[in-house]
Structure 1
Amino acid sequence: MKILIFIVGLIVVYLLALLVSSDRKKIKYRPIIVMIIIELILSYIFLSTKFGEAIAKGLSDFFASLLATAGAGINFVFGGLANKGEAPFFLTVLLPIIFVAIIIGILQYFKILPLVIRGIGWLLSKVNGLGKLESYNAVAAAIVGQGEVFITVKDQLSQLPKKRLYTLCASSMSTVSMSIVGSYMKMIEPKYVVTAIVLNLFSGFIIIHIINPYTVSQEEDILEINEAKKESFFEMLTEYILLGFKMAVIIAAMLIGFVALMAAINNIFTYFFHISFQQILGYIFSPLAFIMGVPAHEAVQAGNIMATKVVTNEFVAMIDLTHIQQHLSSRTVGIISVFLVSFANFSSIGNIAGATKGISDKQGNVVASFGLRLLYGATLVSVLSAVIVSVVL
């Protein structure tokens, strides 16, 4: 039964992507099949082997130590603010982003990250059937951030045709920034975070091949990375500290706004229709949850979490998942956890359009024009990754 649902899930994802394909005749099936096989192997390694468990535990311990170290600075400034034995979400989950941002800044400053990004991007380009720029961008977005990645390719960005621009934006929405991975790991199991990050790279390329097929000629396959402006070490530290704080505050503001708005909408629907808005969304998304491998009796609850993520953001959905996961099977928790690890939500359309518009006004308008198609594709990326892991859970 598990294998049957997996096959049905793959077919449904393919058909949903095919519905909005820009050129069905140009779809390259060989790299798609190769990447699905790679995803299945990686899912098995990360979720069903001691080696995979060791990798997930190692990364979890690493981020836990980073967050613990960040706690020293947080306690110095906010010590005593929280009640004994009870720490606010902002202090324990969001503010540590500042310290993680500093680590990323240091690795960038000493040119360690660019080397890693180029290396992984080069390897990906050998199997994904896309160009070097697309491969680099997908890896870079997962490390330096959704908006910041466009700065590193700003000279090429203004000259890219619409199809390649879509691919870069889709990659940015399908991945997550390394600076907030530690925060995710405080809400869902680290092994699912690690698995989702890796799978989303390949799932993103697969969906792009179907929705947005094209061929990059050898002359076009050029990667030009813009070096960061020359600055002193302490200037860089200041910049990344402020960047980390800005991210934490923006996420906090979005959580306050989205959670309050969702509560208000739920109250209105409950008062007039005796059913909450989230419950309605749960029914709408439940078929997707089912083809992802979620048991039928838990599909509505899972669909509720999925819809919350798309309509609000992944943090709100993860918080909701922590509240009900004790009532769900471990299989459902694993599948939904993998689905949640991405930036596929409505607010990301504005983030990406704003980031590209800041570099090229024309390209920003182009991105805004295909915003909904971008979100549709990125959501399918999350669904595909969840379908893949359902085989090994």
Structure 2
Amino acid sequence: MSVYALQSVAGLGVFCALAWLMSENRRAFPWRLVAVGLLLQFALALFLLKVPAARAVLFALNGVVEALSEATQAGTALVFGYMGGGPEPFEVTAPEHAFILGFQALPLVLVVSALSALFWHWRILAWVTRGFAWALEKTMRLGGAVGFGTAANVFLGMVEAPLLIRPYFEKLTRSELFMLMSVGLATVAGTVIVLYAAIVGPVIEGALGQIITASLISLPAAILMAQIMVPGDEVTETGRVEADLGYHSAMDAVTQGTAQGLALLLNIIAMLLVLTALVALVNIVLGTLPDAGGGPLTLQRVLGWFFAPLVWLMGVPAGESLIAGQLMGTKTVLNEFLAYLDFAKLPEDALSPRADMIMLYAMCGFANLGSVGIMIGGLTTLVPSRRQEIIGLSMKALVAGTLATSMTGAVIGILN
């Protein structure tokens, strides 16, 4: 085993220890669940990344990204003309500047959101989710409602997934509620997976398969972290959960899915604009301070120093930990979309292939401050009676989600 792999092994231990230090009951350490969670992570990673047939399927998914991107461009070209990727009515002298993110890439969210709703109405995603839920219930002993809710997070968002178990929300134990929150922040929704893959595709081979794998591996990690931090043996039995999102027909599903995608698209555009402006503003203020470490102070450099130990524990070489730390800091303080944009813009030799893979997986989660606000708003609307409990658990869930994706990065570090 290499020195870097040993770093990752040590990281797994440190991440679990940090979660235990923040536990509400340190005497109730769930040894069995931790062992099962780690085993599931490694089993999923080995199967999806090392078994040739599974790996070939994941890499073939890149064709899905290309097909969806091409189909979306047909729509953006019709609606936005040359700004959406259509033929230019004039000679372009600087084609490298012709790409417009908001008109050419982000509308992909609309198409994927409509397709996701349609596949859910046709029960395709519902049955896949039910399969994941069954596996989680058998291996990690989850209740029916929380098992289905956590599994749904792989395909739906951290607010949409709980809608499926809304009738049972009042009955969930504190531990189960925290588990749902943690899983929501440790995974990413299917509506943005394709978008992220399109962004990092030019620098990561088989990007869509890799990001799907990352979200799947982080699922047991988040359950593990949640049970360490807010342990609980009681299970809310609910029987069979109906996977109904209220679509009355295929056209209704497409219509509702498009509307939900539009809300998400506008939110992404607004957050990108505001967060980029705030980063620039902070850097302007920091620029008035004396230089530090051989250069001017910036938010990115400060985040890099703060998160460098975390990414080092995942297995990133020490010489690359500052750059990797900046990415992880951007993902946590701002959001994962900005982090992936920065990741795709890095010079080719900025990070080694090992660090590239670790960071691709470690950044695949909604664990950031903005998502915490969205989650609080969504869940308190679903169950107003538990508002104070949800707010009280929210920042702890942010830590659990971050540690879960860090564990996923460490698992990849051990296997690479």
Aligned counterpart, 1:301: 323
Between the aligned partners of 2:160 and 2:308, the Cα distance in structure 1 is 34
| Residue 20 to residue 325, structure 1, CA distance change in 2 (3 Å) | farther
**Residue type of the partner of 1:128?**
M
**Residue type of the partner of 1:334?**
M
Question: Greater share of helix residues, 1 or 2?
Answer: 1
**Residue type of the partner of 1:306?**
M
**Which of 178, 196, 201 pairs up with 1:184?**
196
Between the aligned partners of 1:231 and 1:138, the Cα distance in structure 2 is 25
Aligned counterpart, 1:231: 248
Aligned counterpart, 2:394: 371
Between the aligned partners of 1:46 and 1:161, the Cα distance in structure 2 is 33
Name the % identity. Answer: 24
Aligned counterpart, 1:14: 16
**Which of 79, 82, 98 pairs up with 2:81?**
79
Once the two structures are superposed, residues 125-176 of structure 1 have per-residue CA deviations (whole angstroms, 9 ceiling, x without a partner) of 2112322222211221221222111211111113323222111111111111
User: SS at the partner of 1:81?
Assistant: helix
**Which of 247, 264, 274 pairs up with 1:257?**
274
**Larger mean Cα displacement after TM superposition, 14-23 or 58-67:** 58-67
Aligned counterpart, 1:109: 121
**Residue type of the partner of 2:6?**
L
The 8 Å contact of residues 48 and 392 in structure 1, kept in 2 or not, is answered as: no
| Residue 80 to residue 123, structure 1, CA distance change in 2 (3 Å) | same
The 8 Å contact of residues 171 and 201 in structure 1, kept in 2 or not, is answered as: yes
Aligned counterpart, 1:23: 25
Once the two structures are superposed, residues 25-76 of structure 1 have per-residue CA deviations (whole angstroms, 9 ceiling, x without a partner) of 2222123213312322332333344334312212221232122212211111
Could you say what the CA RMSD is over the residues aligned between the two structures, in angstroms? Answer: 1.9
> What is the correspondence of 1:216-227 to structure 2 with a 5 Å cutoff?
216-217=234-235, 220=237, 222-225=239-242, 227=244
For normalisation by structure 2, the TM-score amounts to 0.89
Matched, 1:202 2:220: yes
Matched, 1:47 2:70: no
Between the aligned partners of 2:237 and 2:191, the Cα distance in structure 1 is 32
The 8 Å contact of residues 4 and 317 in structure 2, kept in 1 or not, is answered as: no
Q: How far does residue 283 in structure 1 lie from its aligned partner after superposition?
A: 0.6
Between the aligned partners of 1:254 and 1:78, the Cα distance in structure 2 is 22
User: SS at the partner of 1:133?
Assistant: helix
Matched, 1:38 2:40: yes
Aligned counterpart, 1:156: 168
Q: Is there any run of 5+ residues in structure 1 with no aligned partner, and where?
A: none
**Which of 251, 256, 269 pairs up with 2:286?**
269
> What is the correspondence of 1:309-388 to structure 2 with a 5 Å cutoff?
309-326=331-348, 327-388=350-411
The 8 Å contact of residues 129 and 148 in structure 2, kept in 1 or not, is answered as: yes
**Residue type of the partner of 1:5?**
Q
Matched, 1:146 2:158: yes
User: SS at the partner of 1:344?
Assistant: coil
The 8 Å contact of residues 45 and 213 in structure 2, kept in 1 or not, is answered as: yes
Matched, 1:285 2:307: yes
Between the aligned partners of 1:340 and 1:7, the Cα distance in structure 2 is 19
User: SS at the partner of 1:143?
Assistant: coil
Aligned counterpart, 2:259: 242
Q: Is there any run of 5+ residues in structure 2 with no aligned partner, and where?
A: 292-296
Q: How far does residue 257 in structure 1 lie from its aligned partner after superposition?
A: 0.7
The 8 Å contact of residues 64 and 182 in structure 1, kept in 2 or not, is answered as: no
Aligned length: 392
Between the aligned partners of 2:150 and 2:376, the Cα distance in structure 1 is 17
| Residue 111 to residue 47, structure 1, CA distance change in 2 (3 Å) | closer
For normalisation by structure 1, the TM-score amounts to 0.94
| Residue 374 to residue 298, structure 1, CA distance change in 2 (3 Å) | same
Between the aligned partners of 1:112 and 1:52, the Cα distance in structure 2 is 20
The 8 Å contact of residues 158 and 359 in structure 1, kept in 2 or not, is answered as: no
Q: How far does residue 91 in structure 1 lie from its aligned partner after superposition?
A: 2.6
The 8 Å contact of residues 151 and 226 in structure 1, kept in 2 or not, is answered as: no
**Residue type of the partner of 1:105?**
A
User: SS at the partner of 1:341?
Assistant: coil
Aligned counterpart, 1:137: 149
| Residue 378 to residue 325, structure 1, CA distance change in 2 (3 Å) | farther
**Larger mean Cα displacement after TM superposition, 22-31 or 383-392:** 22-31
The 8 Å contact of residues 175 and 230 in structure 2, kept in 1 or not, is answered as: yes
Between the aligned partners of 1:159 and 1:134, the Cα distance in structure 2 is 11
| Residue 70 to residue 15, structure 1, CA distance change in 2 (3 Å) | same
User: SS at the partner of 1:391?
Assistant: helix
The 8 Å contact of residues 47 and 54 in structure 2, kept in 1 or not, is answered as: yes
